Amino acid sequence: MTKANQEEVIRCDGIWKIFGQKSGQALEAIRRDGLTKREIRERFDCVVGVQDASFSVKRGEIFCIMGLSGSGKSTLIRHINRLIEPTAGSVIIEGQNVNAMNARDLRALRAERIGMVFQSMALMPHRTVRENVVFSLEVRGIDEDRRNKVARQSIEAVDLSGWENKYPDELSGGMQQRVGLARAIAADPTILLMDEPFSALDPLIRKQLQTTFMKLSAELHKTTVFITHDLDEAIRIGDRIAIMKDGVLVQIGTPEQIVTEPADDYVSDFVAGISKLDLVTAARVMQPLERYGQANPIGDMSMWPVARAEDKLNALVDLAVGTEHPILIKEQGQTVGVVTKRALLRGIQGRDESAPVMAEVH
Amino acid sequence: MATEQSFNILDPFSSIDLNISDRADGIKGWAISNREVLEPIKSVFNSMIVSIEQALLAVPPLVMLLLIVLIAWQAAGRRVAIIVAVCLSVLGFLSPDAWQLAMTTLAIVVAAVITCVVIGLPLGILAGKSDRFETSIRPVLDTMQTIPAFVYLVPVVMLLGIGNVSGVIVTIIFALPPLVRLTSLGIRGVNESVVEAARAFGASPSQILFKVELPLAKPTILAGLNQTIMLSLSMVVIASMISVRGLGNEVLRAMGRLDAGKAIVGGLGIVMLAIVLDRITQGIGQSSRDRGRQKWWHHGPVGLIAPFITKKRENSAANTVPTINTERTNEA
């Protein structure tokens, strides 16, 4: 994730959302006495949706928010375009405070700078594919010629050319969500909000749409907030991942950080089943050459296979199976470390290299 | 009298007299003394009814019949058009002056229904959007639907006098509730996620109403309109008691003379008119996708002549219609 422009596009500062009539009092009580969610429900008849969530998304970045259902992630994403008003906290988009906007500016922001895709697709059944796609342009009063042109481009971008005049219920689920995607990118917004866009689809179509989305995203460089309950999807798509639990953002980090340095038991349980092969880099499992040299005789290094520091474990395995030697890690011609077979295997397991060995071979 | 009895705790109702009927009489008396305030409303209604009636009667019956059949064909298809043609013919042959009476009745119904839409649609939308308004208007609607017509017949006559205007007012009171109720139901039935999507893409409240909620609530609203029309027709006989002319008056007079034959003529006329109006409005209520998703100008009589009028436009539209069904493989 080396983006030239590191400017923050979205920043959420301490967002609280408490649903219910006495949300203000409930928030005060939490801040003062540190009540739990359950106490809040019993005392104030309020439901805590999001607790003190802060994060920022940089330009062009794909930021995944991962959590189980009911963890508040759909509530959180709706604060970004202010479909939900926060109980406390603020959302800043490109330096503008969304919560301070008047209704007209907010509508302009939603129509021109934010595109959204919904889990339920939420297409308008009485409108054709084309009319659905250009809805945000239509509400801004853009003329029909321009709308038709934009519709053609967006529909082409999601491989739906030829279906413009069909109605949503004539399309399969996967195609409907492509219409949803086309609608979100039609106005060429800066920001894409994806609320579990592929969760309702069957696995094959989901994978296909993920590929379509990643291809589009690479072309269009949209700043994206992507909600999912599927860690594999988050790791596949996200530049950074936030793990959400009971309305709290438990950990924010790159996929590699999340998998290798889980912040707590909840996250580590989550990532336990995740394959490290395509996530963890050589840099994380290598040791300095000197340390290796202290414990092992270094013979002729010319036979040793060579890899780069950002190579994934998967590539290292390919190298390791062809030789008895450890792998040299080089960066611009300089040797920066060594990956032993033991370190590689431990890396795949997701455990430390120094973890105790169960049975020594004699 | 009950007031002279001593108070009995087990039967408090007979010993207490709040004199509600006298008070209501007082209100009525006050209203009658201020009845000239209503004069402008009355004249507006009157001119509306008269102009509709004149328009309907100005057209020769056969031309009118053809016109209604064409409308039915356009709105509801060929089969309904045939039913409508048969019903209208039966209506015409019932008696020599049946057609004229039917047109007078139709004028009253049309005037009442137009007013119902003007009042009922906004009320229904409000009720659909606001729970508080819905709960406050519901007892009013209940009253309007269930209170016996004769109860408000007399005050209306005292305020407005006998005649068509009173007839239309009485009809509105009875026929308005289903439109309000079903409009509210339709608005409430619109999928919330679609409304949310419209909001997320920057639609204003009025755009959401006109571009999303009303189109999606349309079938339910039209069902309400259909009910309103049917109830208006069923008020025709009662309204004739306050000297509203038309088919209802025939029935009333025939009943007064115990002339069963003539009553059947008037009654059947109302039934025929009801069938015609019901079939046409139900046809409009059907969604376009039931007819192969064509736009309304692509079928019916307009569909036959439209190509000659808008040839140029059709051609340019034909060019943009894509060839489909080869792309299904995308999803495989």
pLDDT in tens, A132-146: 999 999 999 999 999
Q: Give the range with max mean pLDDT: A133-142, A308-317, B279-288.
A: A133-142
Mean pLDDT across the stretch A333-356?
81
Backbone angles phi, psi at A252, to 5 degrees: -125, 130
Is residue A18 very low, low, confident or very high in pLDDT (cuts 50, 70, 90)?
very high
Distances (CA, A) of A168 to A136, A180, B166: 17, 10, 49
pLDDT band at A248 (very low <50, low <70, confident <90, very high): very high
- Residue A197 pLDDT more than 90? yes
Nearest-neighbour CA in chain B from A229: distance (Å): 20
Look at A26-30, A32-36, A186-190, B254-258 and tell me which has the smallest mean pLDDT: A32-36
Pick from B191, B289, B321: CB nearest A165 = B321
B315: CB partners within 8 A, 6+ apart: none
8 Å CB contact of B324 and A109: no
Predicted confidence band of residue B9 (pLDDT cuts 50, 70, 90): confident
Nearest CA in chain B to A106: B202
Structure confidence at residue B261 (pLDDT): 86
Short-list A154, A235, A228, A152, CA closest to A189: A154
Name every chain A residue with its beta carbon within 8 A of the beta carbon of B215.
126
Please, where in chain A does CATH 3.40.50.300 lie?
Answer: 58-78+97-271
- The answer to whether residue B327 neighbours chain A at the CB level (below 8 Å) is yes
Of B191, B194, B201, Cβ closest to residue A139: B201
B89-98: b (≥16 Cβ within 10 Å) or e: eebbebbeeb
Chain B contact for A114 (CB, 8 A cutoff): yes
Say yes or no to pLDDT of B291 above 60: no
Q: What is the pLDDT of residue B288?
A: 53
CATH architecture for the domain at A58-78+97-271 = 3-Layer(aba) Sandwich (3.40)
Residues 6+ away with beta carbon under 8 Å from B253: B259, B262
Query: With an 8 Å Cβ cutoff, is B319 touching chain A?
Result: no
The pLDDT tens digits for B167-198 are 999 999 999 999 999 999 999 999 999 999 99
Ranges for all domains in chain A classified under CATH 3.90.1280.20: 282-349
- Please tell me the predicted confidence (pLDDT) of residue A280: 84
**Residues of chain B contacting A167 with CB distance shorter than 8 Å:** 289, 293
Reference A70, options A262, A229, A264; nearest CA is A229
* Residues of chain B neighbouring A139 (CB-CB closer than 8 A): 198, 201-204, 207, 211
Distance, CA of A33 to CA of B140 (rounded, Å) = 49
**Between chains, do B201 and A112 touch, taking CB under 8 Å as contact?**
no
Q: What is the mean pLDDT of residues B224-238?
A: 92
Q: Which of B289, B326, B331 is nearest residue A172 as measured by Cβ atoms?
A: B331
Give B-chain residues touching A102 at CB under 8 angstroms.
Answer: none
Asked whether the beta carbons of A348 and A276 are under 8 A apart, the reply is yes
**What residues of B are in contact with residue A193 (Cβ under 8 Å)?**
200
* pLDDT band per the 50, 70, 90 thresholds, residue B135: very high
User: Mutation test of the interface with chain B: which of A84, A135, A158, choosing the one with the most B Cβ atoms within 10 A?
Assistant: A135
Q: Cβ contact (<8 Å) for B197 and A123? A: yes
Distance of residue A54 Cα from the nearest chain B Cα, in angstroms: 22
> Which residues, 6 or more positions from B291, have their beta carbon under 8 angstroms from its beta carbon?
B77, B299
Report residue A258: phi and psi, to 5°. Answer: -60, -40
- Contact map slice: B 274-313 vs A, CB within 8 A: 289, 293
By C-alpha distance, the chain B residue nearest A186 is: B201
Amino acid B292: pLDDT: 54
C-alpha B8/C-alpha A191 separation (Å) is 76
Predicted ipTM?
0.84
| Mean pLDDT, all residues of chain A | 89
pLDDT band, residue B320 (cuts 50/70/90):
very low
Confidence of residue A323 (pLDDT cuts 50, 70, 90): confident
Helix then strand then coil, % of chain B, to nearest 5: 85, 0, 15
Give chain B positions within 8 Å (CB) of A109.
202
Q: Which fold has domain A282-349?
A: CBS domain Like (3.90.1280)
Looking at residue B121, what is its pLDDT?
96
Tell me the chain B residues in contact with residue A111 when contact means C-beta distances shorter than 8 Å: 201-203
